[in-house]
């Protein structure tokens, strides 16, 4: 099994299998709940979590009153909201482009611990954000499950699709976490390098969003292939979700053990689902992940990002138990203040295009976010990832405006 207590540079001592196995007599951390609605027809499989002994012995998340981001998640409103950006390590930074060229392919960068740590730290050095997010990708779980995953330049991810029940039946139930050891190594490197005031975020893709890429074999305008499979073959699609839930729990626990202070679950394609399917394929799997992580780390701080959820956000927050919810720029402010921010911190929601625009438009947009949400618990962020063409000066302008 993987020893998550290893120091940076110990990759050469990884076991050949890399499999995570529970200690003798350890309890299963996640079981299928019973629930109503469309999901009640699903004959769920019997996949169970197997967590490494070191994770079972892990007592909690490193906590410090000096981390504004972590304190905000813990219920302590900050006078100046903590700030970071989704995709803050990215192509808008010349130093990132230099490292990416050195690494070669995208996955080569993700799985090189030293280089992944370097690009994770670059935006912290340049901008002084309150949180770093480990450089990786939501599709590393399918890769660890033995699926073919590659990234085509200018086209995005390409996967080997399990697009019919027979192919789904052949899916491996347990990921080979040895393949993801470089991610845990990068987390340890970053944790050691960060200022104690800066939080470190680990993450995974939500099962629904990861499944949409798996079934289609790539990104599509509305992820219709996965939606159609969920309608036509709900039992087969449920098996994909089930496998992703259980392995995501293990993956997130391993990130906490490697030094992450908090976690984010990215459900980029949640907004394409009708309400009943949203409850089944987005909310319920996320709830199970949160429950599974907290079965081992009760104080784990978790942010959900069901992009495009809109009016379904209150139900998502209540059911999943997340500590914060990230919202996009289309969310109605009064609704979020009254129905969401009264329960959890909100992470929002600047339009990435206004960050490209800059000038007076950017100042107004930043002021609007602060006016709408600044009286409650707020983590300032974008409504989605920063775009490659964003000028660095505009990021500096945003930071100056937020921090006064």
Q: Which residues sit in the known binding site for substrate?
A: 87-91, 137, 213, 268, 384
| CB 200 within 8 Å of CB 213 | no
Residues 333 and 94: their CA atoms lie apart, in Å, by: 35
Distance between CA atoms of 188 and 165, rounded to whole angstroms? 39
Contacts of 161 (CB under 8 A, 6+ apart): 167, 214, 215, 216, 217, 225
Find the catalytic residue in 32, 91, 158, 343.
Answer: 91
Structure tokens at 287: 């709830």
91 catalytically annotated = yes
Cα–Cα distances in angstroms (integers) from residue 25 to residues 53, 56, 296, in the given order = 11, 11, 15
- The position carrying tokens 């599709």 is 139
Please give the Cα distance from 242 to 245 (Å, whole number).
5
Q: Tokens representing 42?
A: 């699903």
- Marked catalytic residue, from 71, 100, 130, 316: 100
Give the closest residue to 140 by CA, choosing from 327, 272, 266, 9.
266
Active-site position among 92, 96, 143, 213: 213
Which tokens is 67 given? 């981390």
Active site residue 232: no
Would you list which residues are annotated within the binding site?
A: 87-91, 137, 213, 268, 384
- Residue 125 bears catalytic tag: no
Q: Is 100 tagged catalytic?
A: yes
From 71, 87, 130, 251, active-site residue: 87
d(CA 21, CA 16): 14
Q: Which residues are catalytic?
A: 87, 91, 100, 137, 213
């Amino acid at each position: 099994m993987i020893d998550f207590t290893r120091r940076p540079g110990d990759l050469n001592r990884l076991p050949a299998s890399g499999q995570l196995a529970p200690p003798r007599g350890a309890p299963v951390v996640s079981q299928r709940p019973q629930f109503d609605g469309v999901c009640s027809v699903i004959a769920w499989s019997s996949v169970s979590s197997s967590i490494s002994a070191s994770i079972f012995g892990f007592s909690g998340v490193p906590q410090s009153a000096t981390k504004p981001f972590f304190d905000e998640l813990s219920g302590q409103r900050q006078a100046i909201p903590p700030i970071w950006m989704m995709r803050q390590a990215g192509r808008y930074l010349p130093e990132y482009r230099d490292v990416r060229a050195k690494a070669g392919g995208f996955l080569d960068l993700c799985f090189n611990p030293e280089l992944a740590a370097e690009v994770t730290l670059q935006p912290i050095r340049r901008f002084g954000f309150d949180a770093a997010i480990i450089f990786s990708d939501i599709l590393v779980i399918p890769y660890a499950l033995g699926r073919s995953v590659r990234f085509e330049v200018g086209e995005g991810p390409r996967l080997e699709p399990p697009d019919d029940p027979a192919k789904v039946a052949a899916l491996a139930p347990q990921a080979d976490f040895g393949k993801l050891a470089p991610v845990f190594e990068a987390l340890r490197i970053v944790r050691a390098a960060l200022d104690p005031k800066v939080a470190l975020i680990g993450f995974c893709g939500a099962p629904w969003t990861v499944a949409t890429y798996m079934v289609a074999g790539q990104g599509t305008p509305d992820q219709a292939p996965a939606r159609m499979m969920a309608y036509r073959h709900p039992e087969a699609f449920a098996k994909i979700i089930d496998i992703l839930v259980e392995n995501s729990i293990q993956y997130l626990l391993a990130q906490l053990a490697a030094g992450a202070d908090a976690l984010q679950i990215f459900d980029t394609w949640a907004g394409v689902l009708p309400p009943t399917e949203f409850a089944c394929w987005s909310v319920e799997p996320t709830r199970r992940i949160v429950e599974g992580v907290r079965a081992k780390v009760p104080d784990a701080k978790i942010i959900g990002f069901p992009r495009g959820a809109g009016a379904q956000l209150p139900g998502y927050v209540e059911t999943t138990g997340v500590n914060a919810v990230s919202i996009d720029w289309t969310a109605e402010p009064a609704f979020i203040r009254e129905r969401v921010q009264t329960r959890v911190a909100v992470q929002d929601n600047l339009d990435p295009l206004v960050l490209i625009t800059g000038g007076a438009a950017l100042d107004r947009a930043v002021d609007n976010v602060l006016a709408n949400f600044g009286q409650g618990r707020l983590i300032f962020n974008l409504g989605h990832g920063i775009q490659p063409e964003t000028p660095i000066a505009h990021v500096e302008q945003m930071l100056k405006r937020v921090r006064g």
